[in-house]
Amino acid sequence: MLRRIERSVVLVLCLACAPGCSRPQAPARQAATVGSHHVQFLLPAGWEHLDHGRQHLFRHGEAQLLMRDLGEADRDSALLALTGDPQRREIASRDTLEVGGSEWIVLKTWDRVSHMNPSSIAGVVQDGRLLVLATGLGSHEQTGPAFEGLLQSLRVSADSSEGR
């Protein structure tokens, strides 16, 4: 009888500990349509995704990123226009980044005088239509890593069947 109880206790302990021994699940790739772009991404931990058609928001508390289909636009001109007031903001860096088979232009900007308040914006053109990802509200300490992670996870294709 005592041996049976011991076996039962061991079995219960093994079953109770088993979930803690498993690996944490990798985040699931999510899919969305942003305007005419089909987008797949990994949502940063703790962030929520809000679908508003041509504009999608990614929020974590008060911090936010936005992804938007700007339609037919010149990538470089549109990205420069979106960086903000040229009297107050300047480009700190401009890089080309290959992500998921697409060539993105990534601009980092900051305050022209203090070199504080950094922000990031990236753009890619698919079938002549510009998709942008940008930091919005919140500190760069919070939005920066989420921006980088989201950008690196993006897979974008355009819907060539959609009428323009």
Q: Map out the domains of the chain as residue ranges.
A: 25-158
Residue with tokens 């919140």: 138
Mean pLDDT in residue range 30-54: 92
Residue with tokens 């697409």: 102
What's the whole-number average pLDDT of the chain?
A: 83
Q: Does pTM surpass 0.95?
A: no
Output the pLDDT for position 163.
42
Output the pLDDT for position 12.
53
Amino acid (one-letter) located at 78: A
Q: What is the dihedral of CA 81, 84, 88, 90, to 10 degrees?
A: -60
Output the pLDDT for position 87.
80
pLDDT band at 19, cuts 50/70/90?
Answer: low
Output the pLDDT for position 83.
80
Question: Is pLDDT above 90 for 3?
Answer: no
* Percent of the chain predicted with pLDDT > 70: 79
Output the pLDDT for position 162.
47
Could you tell me the CA-to-CA distances from 137 to 23, 38, 61, 141, 143 in Å, in that order? 34, 25, 10, 11, 8
Q: How far is it, in rounded angstroms, from Cα 5 to Cα 1?
A: 6
CATH class of segment(s) 25-158: alpha beta
The SS3 assignment for 78 reads helix
